[in-house]
């Protein structure tokens, strides 16, 4: 019953298939605002879990516009190419992040994150 408003970024865990497309399973992460961090309200829906995300080092690329799945896949491929074979990062998933509300038409920010191993 507590209203927390929207936070940014909204992170979606993408699980790439062998061909680079995304599998049809996702995890969506919403950041709990600072004032609720110490004692988050309990979700009333059993499918919603509160998890603590550990600190991580990421490789990131940023792009604008209204991001669609194909955009995240394309930018993930570009990031993979830019990193080459030297960088060690998780290959089994990556994060797709959006920072803006749907009604913001210009200056939108989206990111793809690879988690460093």
Q: At residue 17, what are phi and psi to the nearest 5 degrees?
A: -85, 175
> What DSSP letter does each residue of 11-48 carry, written as one string?
EEEE-B-TTSPBPS--EEEEPPPGGGSSSPPPPSSTT-
Average pLDDT of the chain is 90
Identify the CATH number of the domain in which residue 109 sits: 3.20.80.10
Asked if the structure places residue 106 within a domain, the reply is yes
CB atoms within 10 A of CB 43: 10
Cα four-point dihedral sign 103, 109, 110, 115 = negative
- Tens of pLDDT, residue by residue over 26-46, are 788 888 888 888 888 888 889
- Tens of pLDDT, residue by residue over 43-95, are 888 988 988 888 999 999 999 999 999 999 999 999 999 999 999 999 999 99
Contacts of residue 70, defined as CB under 8 A and 6 or more positions apart, other chains included, come to none
**Threshold 0.85, pTM exceeds:** yes
**How many domains is the chain built from?**
1
Q: Domain span at residue 110?
A: 10-38+64-115
């Amino acid at each position: 019953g507590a209203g927390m408003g929207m936070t940014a970024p909204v992170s979606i865990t993408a699980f790439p298939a062998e061909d680079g497309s995304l599998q049809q399973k996702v995890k969506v992460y919403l950041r709990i605002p600072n004032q609720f961090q110490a004692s988050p309200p309990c979700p009333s829906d059993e499918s919603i879990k509160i998890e603590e995300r550990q600190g991580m080092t990421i490789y990131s690329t940023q792009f604008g516009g209204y991001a669609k799945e194909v955009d995240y896949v394309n930018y993930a491929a570009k990031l993979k190419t830019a990193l080459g074979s030297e960088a060690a990062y998780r290959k089994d998933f990556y994060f797709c992040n959006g920072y803006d509300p749907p009604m913001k038409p210009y200056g939108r920010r989206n990111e793809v994150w690879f988690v460093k191993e």
